[in-house]
Amino acid sequence: MPMDDVLKEFLTEGSEGLAQLDLDLVELERHPDSQELINRIFRSIHTIKGGCGFLDLARLEAVAHATEGVLMQVREHRLGVSQSMMNDVLSGVDAIRKIMNYLETEQREPDGDDRVVIERLERWLTGEPPVTPEEPTPELPQHSGGSRGTFELFETGEVIPVHASAVPLAEEPSTSVAPAAAEVRTPAPPAPPSGAGSSDSEAGSDPRQSVVESSLRVNVVLLDRLMNLVGELVLARNQLIQLSTGTEESVFAAPVQHLNRVASDLQEAVMKTRMQPIGAAWGKLPRLVRDLAAATGKKIELDMRGAETELDRQILQAIQDPLTHMVRNSADHGIESPDERIDNGKPAHGTITLNAYHEGGHVILEITDDGAGINVDRVRSKAIERGLVKAEAAMAMSESQILRFIFEPGFSTAAQITNVSGRGVGMDVVRSNIERIGGTVDLSSRMGEGSTVRVKIPLTLAIVSALVVKAGAHVFAIPQIGVVELVRVTEELQHRMERVNQVRFYRLRDALLPIVDLAGLLALNSDSSRSEFNIVVCQVGTLRFGLVVDDVYDTQEIVVKPVGRLVKHVTVYSGCTILGDGRVIMILDTTGIASTAMPSTQSERTVPRSVEAQTTQNTERESILLFDAGGATLQAVPLVRVARLEEFGAEQLEEADGRLVVQYRGALLPIIAANPSMNVRARVPRPVIVLSADGQTMGLAVEEIKDIVEEHLVMQAGARRPGVRGVAVIAGKATEVLDVTHFLSEASASLSGVGGF
């Protein structure tokens, strides 16, 4: 049974504290007047006792409380340090250690009590120190350089002091308590698990790693340096791949491919060391909500979900301020007063819900309140009043477009300024900070029901997946987090290009997509009369626009390097990177491009109302990946279930007990054909869709990836075979929609005999 993360953290920190306690207590006997030592010892025991109450560890708390009581007397100079008193304190520490060792193996406290240890400690508080009885010195084995009756030699070769005055746990005698001398006491070996042998020879034979030994605290600076070195390794790998490409008979092909796999695994492992649960950024929010509720006279409950969702430490630091602003805004503007809520048929307590989860290689963070919602008409009037939009254009805008004005600097609809909010600062900070790290923020609301802020952020900023494109004679990288799809415009499709109020649009699936020519924006030499070009469909918040480029090369994992100070003010760039051939290229910032090419989202405001109605309907659609599996009918899966698109060579496809697998990112990835009649090895390289859900991952082998489309998915016919949800009309064609859960469970069963995943 996996150990609870909270208990694991408690045991790790507690064991570190106990190890330092042994050193500090022995040192205190030598320097009994050291207030710094006394305070440090007291804090260590107090920390352990505090964790006991949280985890409901009554026995451990009782021993820690008694030990802390004696140390409190020493700290307040009511009790002097003596050898007999220190022996009893060390007995308490030993009792704590034994209970924690048992907790580590059994995940519960051992039966019994520590009455003898606690009573001896409590007598120091009553002014009646116990008399240490005379006990015979145990016979110990002879060893070179030692003396009988002073040290005990374990089979591990560790020598620890022995004192007869120690009082151990009630149910098991022991004599391992440090003396008043200067020797450093070595911690006793962990207690064997329940049912295991109890002899000395068996005590150290348990091959399982302890919780303490399985974790290590590392300086953050060292982790950052390690990440930088991995980044350089990735750059070198990309260069080697570039050099070996095109020479099929190269003797370097195999080792370069192996280096590629190792570098990818190393990169992923180092990234995991930087990952922290998003709950670490939520620590201050309960107190914040409590204080806001008290200041405003409201009743507010905070519901936090997905606190274990992990993301990069750098991203975590960047979202702390935006998160605080959003929660404060929900508490002050969103949640109504108790009387108002009751009048509206709601419970007196309002609820703010924080929810975090992974989706398609990103982290989604939702802040939802069940308050009054946002008055769209009031926001529209305020935007017109401030001159942010003309009245005619404002009336043609959708609700989602109107709500975006809330993120404008200085924008506020509050009737009066309070010490909490109303000055028009906060939400613009949210947008700027989120977009600075390559994320997007979206706001939706329903009057009388509440509001939701949805934030989409990358897992990391150090190494990102990017699309490499060309405009004019220059090459650029676009982070894939902002890329929705690619569109190839041929001469036959030129008629879809339109111009509305001096703004170019491309009619994509009956919706008008505003177009930005990258070469024109950057004043690069490019053939404007070309008959064929590519459109990279990008998304910034709720805004979608097409970026026209000359060529699209490939997707690469690039190492993000900061731009120099001379170009830092250029908003269309977010950094630079080095390609495999050694060229330095700029990384484009889609947010900066949108604000530069379409200031104040003018292009959105010029879209006709009929098109806006279509766009509103499209919000209920979902992104779908279309592919050919070799059958008579196209197949599709929801894009939200797709983790990556890969191609595997023949040497990567392996068989294990008749099952097809690939060594992928440090684990075995099961490969299952989308079409049962498909020969997976018949095509090399084989396109594979990596699907992921509920912690499971598998590869779906297909013939060809066709397209990514957005459709309102409606099943026109039911399924007649396993693995198919039904048949729907997608992009004008009958398409089989696959049941991802079926394939994941099939893959899980296929690997149950080879370690699972």
332, exposed or middle or buried, with CB in 10 Å at 0-12, 13-18, 19+?
Answer: buried
Supply the mean pLDDT for the chain.
76
Q: Average of pLDDT values for 45-67?
A: 86
Q: In what order do the strands lie in the sheet with 362-369?
A: 300-305, 350-359, 362-369, 450-458, 440-446
The C-alpha angle 53, 58, 63, rounded to 5 degrees, equals: 100
Highest average pLDDT, of 174-178, 332-336, 537-541, 728-732, comes from 332-336
Determine the 3-state secondary structure of 276 from DSSP. Answer: strand
Q: Identify the pLDDT of residue 175.
A: 32
Question: Closest by alpha carbon to 97, among 110, 82, 79, 78?
Answer: 110
Q: What is the pLDDT of residue 181?
A: 34
What pLDDT score was predicted for residue 211? 58
| Mean of pLDDT values over 123-151 | 48
pLDDT digits (tens, 9 = 90+) for 395-430: 888 888 888 888 887 776 655 545 444 433 457 778
What pLDDT is stored for residue 456 in this prediction? 82
304-308, 477-481, 569-573 — which is least confidently predicted? 569-573
Four-way CATH pick for 282-455: 3.20.20.120, 3.40.800.10, 3.30.565.10, 3.40.50.300: 3.30.565.10
The yes-or-no verdict on residue 283 having pLDDT over 60 is: yes
- Nearest alpha carbon to residue 168 among 78, 93, 82, 278: 93
Q: From residue 435, how far is each of 357, 438, 439, 456, 482 by CA, in Å?
A: 19, 5, 5, 10, 11
User: Whole-prediction pTM value?
Assistant: 0.48
Name the more confident of 373 and 595: 373
pLDDT at 307 over 80: yes
Task: Report, as an integer, the average pLDDT of 170-178.
Answer: 35
CA quadruple 679, 680, 682, 683: dihedral positive or negative? positive
Mean pLDDT over 270-288 rounds to: 81
The model's pLDDT over 242-274, given as tens digits with 9 standing for 90+, comes to 777 666 667 777 888 888 888 888 877 887 787
Mean local confidence (pLDDT), 29-48: 87
Helix/strand/coil (H, E, C) string of 35-53? Answer: HHHHHHHHHHHHHHHHHHH
Structure tokens at 524: 């690069």
How far, CA to CA in Å, does 395 sit from each of 390, 544, 608, 614, 654?
9, 21, 11, 16, 61
pLDDT band for 451, please (50, 70, 90 cuts). Answer: very high
Q: Which of 246-260, 275-289, 449-463 has the least mean pLDDT? A: 246-260
pLDDT tier, 192 (very low <50, low <70, confident <90, very high otherwise): very low
Q: Would you say 622 and 638 are in contact if contact means Cβ atoms under 8 Å apart?
A: yes
Residues 332, 351: Cα–Cα separation, whole Å: 12
Q: How far apart are CA 126 and CA 617, in angstroms?
A: 77
What superfamily does domain 622-750 belong to in CATH? CheA-289, Domain 4 (2.40.50.180)
pLDDT band at 347 (very low <50, low <70, confident <90, very high): very high
The reported pLDDT for the residue numbered 590 is: 84
C-alpha atoms less than 13 angstroms from C-alpha of 222 in its C-beta half-sphere: 5
Residue among 216, 316, 318 at smallest CA distance from 273: 216
User: CA–CA distance from 50 to each of 10, 22, 41, 62, 372 (Å)?
Assistant: 10, 20, 14, 11, 40
Average of pLDDT values for 47-73?
A: 87
Of residues 483, 431, 432, 438, the one with CA closest to residue 463: 438
Please tell me the least confidently modeled range out of 16-25, 55-64, 192-201, 361-370: 192-201
| Residue among 517, 535, 481 at smallest CA distance from 598 | 517
The dihedral sign for the CA sequence 328, 334, 335, 339: positive
**437/320 Cα distance (integer angstroms):** 13
Task: Name the maximum alpha-carbon separation found in the chain.
Answer: 103
User: What residues have CB less than 8 Å from 72, skipping those under 6 apart?
Assistant: 42
The residue-averaged pLDDT of 594-616 equals: 47
In SS3 terms, 112-152 reads as CCCHHHHHHHHHCCCCCCCCCCCCCCCCCCCCCCCCCCCEE
What pLDDT is attached to residue 349?
92
| Preceding omega of 638 cis (within 30 degrees of 0) | no
Banded pLDDT at 621 (limits 50, 70, 90)? low
CA distance 384 to 391: 6
In 344-473, at which residue ranges do the beta strands (DSSP E only) sit? Answer: 350-359, 362-369, 440-446, 450-458, 463-471
Q: Which of 103-112, 143-152, 497-506, 531-540 has the lowest average pLDDT?
A: 143-152
Domain residue limits, the chain: 5-191, 220-276, 282-455, 463-618, 622-750
CATH hierarchy code of domain 5-191: 1.20.120.160
Interatomic CA distance for residues 659 and 302, integer angstroms? 48
User: Within the chain, how many helices (H) and strands (E) appear?
Assistant: 20, 32
Q: What share of the chain in percent tops pLDDT 70?
A: 77
> Residue 296 pLDDT more than 70?
yes
Amino acid symbol at 142:
Q
Is the predicted pLDDT of residue 230 greater than 70, yes or no? yes
Candidates 2.60.40, 1.10.150, 3.30.390, 1.10.287; CATH matching 220-276: 1.10.287
3-state secondary structure of 677: coil
Distance CA 756, CA 667 (A): 9
- State the DSSP code for 170: T
CA 165 from chain center: how many Å? 51
Q: How far apart are CA 80 and CA 590, in angstroms?
A: 68
Lowest mean pLDDT among 27-31, 104-108, 527-531, 657-661: 527-531
Matching fold, domains 463-618 and 622-750: yes
Given a cut of 60, is residue 673 above it in pLDDT? Answer: yes
Quote the percentage of the chain above a pLDDT of 90. 10
Label the pairing between strands 474-479 and 584-588: parallel
CATH 2.40.50.180, domain 463-618, yes or no = yes
Phi/psi of residue 158, nearest 5 degrees = -85, 135
Per-residue pLDDT at 251: 78
Query: What pLDDT does 3 receive?
Result: 62
Q: What is the pLDDT of residues 310-343, one digit of tens each?
A: 888 888 888 888 888 888 888 888 899 999 999 9
